[in-house]
Amino acid sequence: MDESLYWKFLEVERSHWWFVARRQILLALFRHYLPSGGCILDVGCATGYILEAAQQEFDAWGIDPTPTAVKICQDRGLTQVVHGSTEDFSAVADKRFDAVGFFDVIEHVDDDLSALRNAREVLTEHGLVMITVPAHMWLWSEHDVINDHKRRYVKGQLEHLLHDAGFHIEQLTYFNSYLFPSAVLARLARRIIRSVGKADLSMPPPWANRLMTRVFASERRHLVPNGRPRGFPTGLSLLAIARKDEV
């Protein structure tokens, strides 16, 4: 991925609706699935926006393959961020984590199965892998190209991937669903006008940004289980939470 995108993320993540609402949802899931003070590893942690919040309640670690990302994290006080990748967990090989997160990461790598198997090795006995990925190849756009995505996923594809990697699924659902119809229309419109060279990181007008933040963040009431896990039949993204199988 173009390293300049990290600086763009840093510029918009504290206010852009997608970053803000997604972090709220992930933190709610952490609180539900993990013990208080549990140990989390964020693989491909980028600027550390999720870790920054997670470290207030959990023993939060991060790895990233890009020196720029590691420096940004350490400059903002995230001292438990080190160099590593989906293929190289050596910097944290002596630790065991209650959860390993791949938050919009495995769509960037050639071998997503290997990434999950590698994560399995640093999990506790009943540890979790937590994944978000973009959904539906028919939504492929210039945004995916700029962000160096290899693929977008559907539910069955991610389910098989997790089983093959040695996990059993606790929760698997689409999300970013309330805004799905409007997002599809926007992407189709960009195809028609042949918008080139732009990622979906532009800030909407303040009133629209506030509204989209509230709408997207409200999905956590359905995604965070209260009894039986709930979810959505389709959406812009997929969420999976799976537990390490016993050997």
Once rounded to an integer, what is the mean pLDDT over residues 46-73?
Answer: 97
When pLDDT is cut at 50, 70 and 90, the band that residue 199 belongs to is low
How does pLDDT run across 132-175, given as a tens digit for each residue? Answer: 999 999 999 888 999 999 999 999 999 999 999 999 999 999 99
What's the confidence (pLDDT) of residue 155?
97
How does pLDDT run across 84-137, given as a tens digit for each residue? Answer: 999 999 999 999 999 999 999 999 999 999 999 999 999 999 999 999 999 999
How far apart are the two ends of the chain, measured CA to CA in Å? 36
User: Which CATH fold would you assign to the domain 4-244?
Assistant: Rossmann fold (3.40.50)
Tokens 């510029």 belong to 11
Task: Look at residues 74, 177, 86, 174 and name the one whose alpha carbon lies nearest to residue 129.
Answer: 86
What's the confidence (pLDDT) of residue 17?
96
Strands across the sheet containing 59-64: 81-83, 59-64, 39-43, 97-103, 123-134, 237-244, 167-175
When pLDDT is cut at 50, 70 and 90, the band that residue 192 belongs to is low
On whether the pTM is more than 0.75, the answer is: yes
Residue 101 β-bridge partners: 42, 130
The span from the CA of 49 to the CA of 6, in Å, is 11
Report which of residues 183 and 43 the model is more confident about: 43
Once rounded to an integer, what is the mean pLDDT over residues 41-48?
Answer: 98
